[in-house]
Structure 1
């Protein structure tokens, strides 16, 4: 209940008490009771603490109480006077404010030149991504003044008198990441957009539910908050989730603008925010497109946030899931040391939970990398362990898309029964078409199977699914190797360079570049890439590389490596 509502309730109760006293005994004792009750009502109203007031517009959140301007997940640096000017414009957005209004409110009536006022207004526009020409947010009306014309959503958290005491209805958080997608607010005033917004929220909820490591609240529960001003922390407690996704939809000039923000419901921190603008043509195609964009943006953010939470926990409090989360970034490093640590953490997780399918698949991946990158002391043992763990993961849960994808890659490289692995990889993307990892692994399976064109399409889809993923270097490298087999050496070089910008220590990227440069006769660059390869993989030889099974169906790649003069 808001402060206004509490005040209204108090007034109603007082009125009833006064009415009863009119028809009852008019004794001094009764009047004393009335005074005590009146004081109690006033005290009760005073105990309600009103939380931070925020004005939200597009990807911005303007926090009045903290005096902060947020653009998506970042805090925008803004001078105090510029902040005051923006606050006044937003608070008075229903009218045109004159130059004199601004000077009186912000400069306390002091004399301010037109140039100084223009400078400050330009600073406001710069802070919120506006310009004097575009005027998306702040409109200048000649000889009249200025008006904030952006669509604003006002939010204010109302805290309980004892915020440290969780309500009795608070649910315990699940033992894996949990999220609720709240109904998106229709800011266009067009009822048709209501259906579009609701349909899109359903699509996003369904897409997120395909990630088995996520606990997703069903639509029916989330939609009980439709049309209400919500306190995100309260929503988190009532639904028992750690994360809340909220957003808005606005239609203008044949376009639809969707904003979304992902919030940690425990701390109230903003994890991610973005804006998507699309032409309003095919509504269902538009829903699909925006769903992919939203899910592919927030899924890696959620995972990275969970990894950060796990790494901050004390070792004695770690569970199997925490060990798994700690192992993922170590595996992503693609170094000997990182791979060893990832395997150690995966083993610890399996000791705690022998039926943890994803961690068994991760351990198998580590053994496979030991073989392919030449880290293995006993390659035959590593190969057998990789296969054993892949089969273990599948026996635990062969319907988990990420587990299927990891197992398909392991078996493709370590066994080579491509028909079976292609079927597994295909099933993984059907189970979760929004998974970067499923598309990425499918790309490698098709590459090993000697289908480079199909491999490239899968890698491209993976990169589109997660354009900031920490594993992008592996996707770009896979594309590069596939381009080499198609004789598209310039494209292979472009992909290899992108991979190295993501991770300058990944040996496969240097092999890709060295081979592609050599095929084009760019000998100096080929020798440089080969030298860098030997720096990160000193024991590399072409024959050992072939024996590892590092690049099945990679005849042109091997030919290129031989042209560089790398040791046989």
Structure 2
């Protein structure tokens, strides 16, 4: 059974039976002409796919909800100009409903609540109007040339949860507006439309319905630290993390990831906002108080639609019983939700991650540091993981989290935290160790998938990603691993589907996952969504210019050249001028050649320079390969590097073994000449050769006679006498 997230447009003719009764032949001919001359052409223009025609109705699928709304707006605007000269009571008017939701695909048809909601919205829409769901609105606001009236939440027949409803304003003067309708007016619309809903849509909806129950969804908000010692935050965070992990192991429950819920840390818990941000029916919130060897944990389960407390409890125990508390909480919450645990689920919840409380304490501290993603704290996180693992060599979760953090260091090229080759080896080793201890953990497989695809071991990467999802169907990290693997292997549609699944469980992902999503949308040519993802990645990266630069390439494809160039300038300011096309070419060498070319072309148009620090060489003074070899091989090169002009040395033996030293860097490497380029290959840059030209300086202002440039450095030097 295939499932996917898609935009569904449902439309029908208002009062079709009445129109047929007045003029059957004329109505049918006008409907056929309307389909032929307007609907079919417009749907094709906006990349839609007509699923089926049902008398006066039509069901259409779109890959982009922006396209769906734009298509509907064009149809309704053009319909207002048709049937000129026809009496008003005989004019043909469409009602349109649009939803962005999960569907089930079977042969050429689609089913599920995603479809049903679109049909229900169509049924309550006004003649000539368009109603869209909140999930659709969240993606199209300010992206189409229409306005919106927020009609609030509305209960639709046979739909378990209330649906946010928006009416589309088609007048060009209303473009960009988002206003709220008076409650009384909305109630009137709802009551008047209800009868029409029953009459006009029941038969069609029954044909589309699929007999499956909606799964409950939940977000565990960060537990507050009520201890007098505020450094105990990590312990409260650990209680939250472990409860999320336990609940995520339940097969009939959708759980929002740690990454998203921790955006609410320290913020007031407004149920309406949480329901909107995460799309969940239930939340768990609580507090932790630790004093010496005693802990007190308060927790409550709340229905976000009503605010009702469905369950609450207080646990007063010794700190050594923290795992017992977690087990009891998980079981009691599952019971309050009416979930029946399978024997294996009950066993996994009851199984403590470690029997060593000191190891657990180090693990929690490591997780807190790693969650920041900050270069300055990643080394501390790895050291804390080492301590936890040394105390308990069977602590599978510690090894799994260690692998995840190390892979992040490796993927982010934090060579000052851990050099690339060492980070690569450590991530592989830790992931393998975690799986040896607990083969049912999804996270290590997700880590392996990322590592393997960068290493171009594509079949292994796909297998690892699929295994991660099989073990963790509600694990956002697993789905994002699938997205990255499919992105690199060129399966962009599959990558986009995986991103949507990941966002379901992690609506507010990390900067690096936003970057991945942006890349997927960019290579799918969905530039508006790429802009949104890249913007969020840049905002969420705390000034990391590496996540700012890619926004420029999406702007280029939207012909927003000035914004693209301004974005490159801002990224260069954040990165100290170090970003370059050469760096992108080297760091993304595992992409398909045509995809990488499409990326580099846009960045070039945005003004990203070929070399770091904006270096431009004089091609008339560029050395040939034989000249480079004679100048470099077997020599000691003394000089200085940009941007600080700090002293640097490159020692190269005749066999190519070399060592580079500067005020901030020291590494051993292999030096070679390839064509007319000088190449360095070390433990950095994923172990790839970093190559660049060498120039003779025509008028040096110092004693440096040559310049060597690659993706990471501009090195002015002279061979030592």
Using structure 2 for the length normalisation, give the TM-score. Answer: 0.36
**Structure showing greater relative contact order (alpha-carbon pairs closer than 8 Å, 6 or more residues apart):** 1
Q: Which has the higher strand share?
A: 2
Using structure 1 for the length normalisation, give the TM-score. Answer: 0.45
